DNA sequence: TATGAATGAGAATTCATTCAT
DNA sequence: GATGAATGAATTCTCATTCAT
């Protein structure tokens, strides 16, 4: 068996499948998703799905693996040479943009992690852990230089992740509370989060 | 059919079942949970489970309904007459305590909401929505009185929920980044969140 | 999980299933057999089959394991203290009786072995190999004592197995050649095999 | 549709396919064999296989039909004019040679027959039956002429088939008993079978 | 001829639920 | 109350076969 070199045709179909799979996995979790559902969403037959991805697990893995890079980009862009406040403000913005434009991807990961991350624990303890360690060091330096209030850098990152991804992962709750038609949601979120993270609740002067 | 008045015996068995169900539902989500798994965890037979709760759905509903109250308590305790900063600090603390001591409950809700809340949307738009509306008004007053920096009160609540529940819902990720044996996790989290929410990242001279 | 102690009810159902499974496996081989077919033959639903035997493989294994003993009995009964000629004559008879009365069992093993014995090779190299070694020694002594013409004892056993089981395993061919209605088949077979094995084809003076 | 006159190219490809098919069918039986497996073994694509043989059944049929002739040759060569003892000795030898050199063919037939010969019953009741009838008559004459001990000629043939094909069909069992590395297997088998068939076990003074 | 892509008809297995005791 | 037994409705995956190129 020679490794099948992806023809354009094949690549297109794979992309179509992964898009459908992302729809379904992000909405129902791995167990809740069915190949029937994905096949429907992709507009093709179930066996044909399995012609491209050997198993349901395989499809899920391809999604997770393919998206992890995208998911870490905003943090990778955090620049040690930049102004700390502006760097973090920009990071929050980028993360919020991702939650806004890629909510399915966010929920895909959230589903996985909440259920114990059986399929991506390796990635978490590897790639993610290492990137966090690197960037935490950057933040630690900023704090040491008094350019940032003293803060635990890792827990700061947790807080940024949690608050931004909240708008993707807990969308139905956000909508239930704000009303589903609140179009300004992300703008208000951005203003609020920036204000909170940078200046806090306690009135200054 | 008269509604069966619960004997103490019955209540005890129901509690045992719900505890087992909480284990399983919170770990695998509704679809991923199996009655076999719950029966195992409860140490009883599957049909006996269904003697107490007619369907799987019923069991899940009983859990969600029974826990919603507990889940909202910290917010209900937010006191308009108290000092804003201290009230919010205490609220963050209470939420973090809940994440620490009731992670299963947190994940139960998180699973449900991420997957579109098919079974609790009514509760979100009803009870939760109304409580948030009430407490948002309290916060809005505090801001108007300049006792709090200007902030959108609802998004502030989102931020508190997100950051505190993160330690329950995304536990595996937190452990992967911090190392699974970090015993100080919740203490550091509390200090970090208080500092962030109250004072922000920008150094105060 | 405590090991389920077999109630009489359970034992009866298991027996019913195994009988049906023997029908189907012996007729179609492992791969050719379907749970649908077995369920039909057993007069029960497919899932109920799997309530008793976890997998198709399990069912097949239970059959093979349960029958191996029966299958080896005739050889075990070969008595070193008896008269060689009479012992071997009796052995041929017993083997032929088994082929006559348990053709399904014979075909079950034949199917398995022809296809490389993926599921019973261990038994062949273990239990069967050891029993053959023991009985071969007996025969070897008989030859050494000039009570039997010189013969390789293991190949002799092969010949006895092959000729007797032929009437079970190759039944359709036997029927096609003899006519399906030949009721004397086994009697003639017995006479022929005894004559052949004991005296051979060459006329004695 | 005119019958495609086979070009040499076509014939070569067909032969390659049939060789692969023989591998797979003989090892797994008809149901257990997959076109994927055959395509792999033949080094070509599945659809191409079906370009040459319309269906799986067709491929199997071509094999059985094409090999039946070869399979009957040794019996056809039994010569009424020869010396009975020598003729039968030679027949046993030829059959054993076939088991030795064409074990796949032997197993192909064995698989088929054990499972009720759904695809070759016609051949068995026709060509095989007739050839056996003819040669049985020859043997019957030899017995009548006292050149052979009295024996049922058809059952004699059964015995010769069974004992010789045993070394092909039950190869794994033979190997398990003798040890897989016994290179003298066929030589010993030949000596043993000749001795048994011709002279029997009872010592001749 | 040859092959990548596609599919309908199974086939094994899972699982919530029902039945009988 | 409690449980062993039973089942229908999925659900994942396989496989012979067809289609398009």
Spatial distance between the Cα atoms of B128 and D33, rounded to a whole number of angstroms: 61
* Cα distance between residue B22 and residue B106, in whole Å: 10
Output the pLDDT for position B3.
53
Residue ranges for chain B with pLDDT beneath 70? 1-5, 205
Q: Provide the pLDDT for residue C5.
A: 60
Report pLDDT for A3.
47
A35 CB less than 7 Å from any atom of strand F: yes
- C4 has pLDDT over 60: no
Query: Which pLDDT score, from 0 to 100, does residue B1 have?
Result: 44
Interface test with C, best of D92, D146, D202, D205 (most C CBs within 10 A): D202
Which CATH fold topology does B60-199 show?
Tetracycline Repressor; domain 2 (1.10.357)
Give me chain C's average pLDDT, please.
94
Name the superfamily (CATH) of residues C7-54: Homeodomain-like (1.10.10.60)
- Whole-angstrom distance, CA of residue C38 vs CA of residue B46: 27
Shortest CA distance from D153: residue in chain C: C192
Looking at residue B182, what is its pLDDT? 85
Footprint of strand E on the protein (CB under 7 A): A 4, 7, 9-10, 13, 44-48, 51-52; B 33-36, 46-47, 50, 54-57; C 33-36, 46-47, 50, 54-57; D 4, 7, 9-10, 13, 44-48, 51
Per-residue exposure over B93-104, b if at least 16 CB sit within 10 Å of its own CB, e if not: ebbbebbbebbb
The protein residue nearest E6 (Cα–C1') is A48
- CA of B6 vs C1' of F3, distance in Å? 22
Residue D7 is given by DSSP the state: P
pLDDT category, C3, cuts 50, 70, 90?
A: very low
* CA A77/CA B9 separation, integer angstroms: 60
pLDDT tens digits, C128-154: 999 999 999 999 999 999 999 999 999
CA–C1' gap, B74 and E7, in angstroms: 56
Q: Which nucleotide is nearest to C49 (CA to C1')?
A: F6
Say yes or no: domain C61-199 is CATH 1.10.357.10: yes
Domain boundaries, chain A: 1-54, 57-199
CATH code reported for the domain at D56-199: 1.10.357.10
Using CB atoms, list chains with 3+ pairs below 8 Å to chain B: A
Q: Where are the alpha helices (DSSP H) in D43-184?
A: 46-52, 56-76, 84-101, 103-114, 121-123, 129-144, 153-169, 171-178
pLDDT averages per 10-residue partition of chain A, 205 residues: 66 97 97 97 97 97 94 96 97 97 97 93 94 98 96 98 98 94 93 97 84
- Our measurement of CA B72 to C1' E13, in angstroms, reads 42
What is the rounded CA–CA span in Å between residue D2 and residue C59? 50
Predicted confidence (pLDDT) at residue C18 exceeds the cutoff of 90: yes
pLDDT at residue D43 tops 90: yes
Nearest residue to D52 via CA among D23, D22, D9: D9
Q: Do A159 and B193 touch (CB under 8 A)?
A: yes
Q: Does the pLDDT value for residue C43 go beyond 50?
A: yes
The predicted structure's pLDDT at residue C183: 87
Which of D131, D126, D68 minimizes the C-alpha distance to D102?
D68
pLDDT given for residue C92 in this prediction? 98
CATH topology of domain A1-54: Arc Repressor Mutant, subunit A (1.10.10)
The maximal CA–CA distance of chain D, rounded, in angstroms, is: 71
Query: What's the whole-model pTM score?
Result: 0.93
Span A57-199 CATH architecture: Orthogonal Bundle (1.10)
Angle at the Cα of A188 from the Cα atoms of A184 and A194, rounded to 5 degrees: 150
């Amino acid at each position: 068996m020679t490794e099948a070199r992806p023809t354009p045709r094949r690549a297109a179909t794979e992309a179509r499948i992964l898009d459908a799979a992302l729809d379904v996995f992000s909405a129902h979790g791995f167990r809740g998703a069915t190949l029937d559902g994905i096949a429907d969403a992709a507009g093709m037959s179930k066996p044909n799905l399995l012609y491209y991805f050997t198993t349901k697990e395989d499809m899920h893995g391809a999604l997770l693996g393919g998206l992890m890079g995208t998911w870490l980009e905003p943090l990778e862009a955090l620049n040690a040479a930049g102004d700390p406040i502006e760097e973090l403000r920009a990071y929050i913005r980028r993360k919020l943009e991702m939650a806004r434009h890629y909510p399915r991807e966010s929920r895909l990961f959230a589903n996985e992690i909440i259920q114990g991350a059986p399929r991506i624990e390796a990635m978490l303890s590897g790639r993610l852990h290492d990137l966090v360690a690197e960037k935490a060091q950057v933040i630690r330096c900023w704090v040491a230089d008094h350019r940032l209030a003293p803060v635990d850098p890792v827990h700061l990152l947790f807080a940024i992740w949690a608050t931004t991804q909240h708008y993707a992962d807990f969308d139905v709750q956000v909508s239930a509370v704000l009303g589903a038609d609140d179009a300004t949601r992300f703008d208000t979120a951005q203003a609020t989060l920036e204000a909170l993270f940078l200046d806090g609740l306690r009135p200054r002067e």
